[in-house]
Chain A
């Protein structure tokens, strides 16, 4: 009876927590703008075939470099006569998928390492020195090194970016674990004989979720930007994949004759990165339990 009451109480509490978080998030106008852009982009990616007429990799050499607002191609065509709108839409798919994979892999690695380091003092030094080692490389350089070893492809870009996300994530998680570990309820769990795994998975991880969510959102922005940068350098998407960074790289030869070939994908990258960043910022403010006191 008493147990049932606690569970009900707990669920109510959690519900209330989520509702207040969302309410706080919606108060932040920038974050809402970010959220809308992100949702739009997700819809674009899912319904790509429905909102485009042309195949993004179908060439039509006879109608190349059409300017914006041409008949049938409202964003024009590129050097090979491929529809820029189709390429942007399918590019959204690539950016989101690569970003999602990179961030998920990075989270798995980072959370695992961070938890272990935070929970077991003996492992702490070893893991954190390894993390420091990863930190000592500038991010993009580390990614380039990994791609040089694995070869150029989008999959390898995702792997490279995920590895580069691991150290930051591990540090954030370790910090949270260190403080949560000392809380009375964890002590209580331990004295009741709960296993380490149970404590970590059921009690520490949910309580460390807020910084992880914020990190993941912000990291999406970095991951999308890095994918574009690496593809721009020719290390990511191989032609004719409609990747935004690769599109800019190809378009820059035509900066003088067809500036839209660089400007359009540039704006796409900018909007996406901006959206994920402000959304992450908004989430951080909304998830911060100290917000009420500050206000």
Chain B
């Protein structure tokens, strides 16, 4: 018996000893790999961005989602771009433009620019890009951007003439949309730009491991000054809280669209800078206007009165701006007077309306996408509507299914959002509320001839002051009739490692890494 104990003790002793010697070898290994990776991070200046999902593709023609456009913004460029400070449209690849009449836009292009594959950038490339986007055979998801175009003609090497079917005010805004970027015609004919993109931008494509990461490198021949970064990596990290931990340890350097419930944690990180600024995304509660009950103005008014938007915005930890206006402060067509023009929160009046009209008789199906802010909106609004006497059942859905269900109009009320890439009010009202788009992007199924007229006027007028007036009228019309209840206007946010300087997120949530440096 004693001998057995002795044996056991010896065994344990041996094990401890071997563990010690093992322990001493591990740090060596770590050091080895550490010294190997150090020069890479010091010598080559790179930025690693983390997003929760992978890009769909990298062709501006064939995509329409923010994850893809984050990557594409670095590779491609547009004829015009909106200055994030002044919110004015400025020429980018274009040099200047003039209107010879209401239907004709003559655009002068910059000279001496080449695509990353060596193809010269010229009027033919512009014509090719625009014709490809609007050609029905292409089946581009955002073909509607250039729907008003009649012809695109290359007059000479650096002059393009665009003729529209009718006077089209927001043309320059449409041309600044990331889906209207200019692609290299030779590359597009030779390869699939979805997998192998070629543009004129500051970074060129290197590799894409699906579901893992996309690598871009500096375009050494970039036409508009030296690019400071050598390499950019777009990494897929599905869990935001994991991404934040990676930001803390330096595995990634840059996150955007920060969730409100994590903001205090991110702001507490010592090595991280957080930036927040007003943006164009708007989040709203909308009715399914094809349902009979929702066509009753009293019903819509009761709902609007029952929703306490102030209480909700407080839950966003400063990441939302409270305003009744459908067009946010950063969108063309916004007017301060719309801020308080909506139906005010008045729970007592709402209760009264519900009781008098028997609105509680039939339950409301409140559809919501299962993404963080939509869940938050759904739960809070459900509780508030219940307080006012409504019967509300939430139905949660995954994002893609939700979009289809809402498009088909299989709901009573739902929450929608729109981050306005062109920052133009027509680009909010036309796709989302004009009767042309019912069953398509008009998920609210809203169709009102009077409203349609105002939106059409805002589109077919060239004079920008007149357009602004029409957009404001359309905005006010929506608020007067409680077409939608605006929950908040989103802030655009980013969290970057302190070593990164010069990163600026545009009000539409997009950003360029061209002027970004790493210290």
Q: Which residues of B contact A (CB under 8 A)?
A: 241, 259, 261-262, 264-265, 311-312, 314-315, 370, 372, 375-376, 378-380, 382-383, 393-396, 398
Contact of A59 among B241, B259, B264, B383 (CB under 8 A): B383
> Smallest distance from the beta carbon of B258 to chain A beta carbons, Å?
12
Known contacts A61-B380, A238-B396, A240-B379; decide if A79 and B261 are in contact (CB<8 Å). yes
Q: Which of A61, A254, A255 has the most chain B CB atoms closer than 10 A to its own CB? A: A61
* Contact between chains at B265 and A234 (CB < 8 Å): no
* Contact between chains at B395 and A152 (CB < 8 Å): yes
Which chain A residues (237-270) contact chain B, with CB distance < 8 Å? 238-240, 250, 252-257
Q: Which residue of B lies closest to A255 (CB)?
A: B241
Q: In the complex, what distance in Å separates the CA atom of A238 from the CA atom of B370? A: 11
> Smallest distance from the beta carbon of A241 to chain B beta carbons, Å?
9
Nearest 4 interchain pairs by C-beta: A59-B383, A253-B261, A256-B265, A61-B311
* Contact between chains at B383 and A238 (CB < 8 Å): no
> Smallest distance from the beta carbon of A256 to chain B beta carbons, Å?
5
Residues of B within 8 A of A238 (CB): 393-396
> Smallest distance from the beta carbon of B355 to chain A beta carbons, Å?
21
Count of interface residues, chain A, beta-carbon cutoff 8 Å:
19
* Contact between chains at A240 and B393 (CB < 8 Å): no
Contact of A253 among B262, B370, B394, B398 (CB under 8 A): B262
Q: In the complex, what distance in Å separates the CA atom of A257 from the CA atom of B268? A: 11
List 16 additional A-B contacts (Cβ < 8 Å) besides A240-B379, A252-B241.
A59-B379, A59-B383, A61-B312, A61-B314, A61-B315, A80-B379, A80-B380, A152-B395, A234-B370, A234-B398, A238-B394, A239-B378, A250-B375, A253-B241, A253-B259, A254-B261
* Contact between chains at B262 and A239 (CB < 8 Å): no
Q: In the complex, what distance in Å separates the CA atom of A234 from the CA atom of B375? A: 11
Residues of B within 8 A of A57 (CB): 383
Residues of B within 8 A of A234 (CB): 370, 396, 398
* Contact between chains at A240 and B382 (CB < 8 Å): yes
Residues of A within 8 A of B312 (CB): 61
> Smallest distance from the beta carbon of B109 to chain A beta carbons, Å?
48
> Smallest distance from the beta carbon of A291 to chain B beta carbons, Å?
33
Q: In the complex, what distance in Å separates the CA atom of A3 from the CA atom of B314? A: 79
* Contact between chains at A239 and B261 (CB < 8 Å): no
Q: In the complex, what distance in Å separates the CA atom of A282 from the CA atom of B310? A: 56
> Smallest distance from the beta carbon of B268 to chain A beta carbons, Å?
9
Q: Which residue of A lies closest to B240 (CB)?
A: A253
Q: Report 27 cross-chain contacts, Cβ distance below 8 Å, ordered by A residue.
A: A59-B379, A59-B380, A61-B315, A64-B315, A79-B315, A79-B376, A80-B380, A80-B383, A152-B396, A234-B398, A238-B393, A238-B394, A238-B395, A239-B396, A240-B379, A240-B382, A240-B383, A240-B394, A252-B241, A253-B241, A254-B261, A256-B241, A256-B262, A256-B265, A257-B261, A257-B264, A257-B265
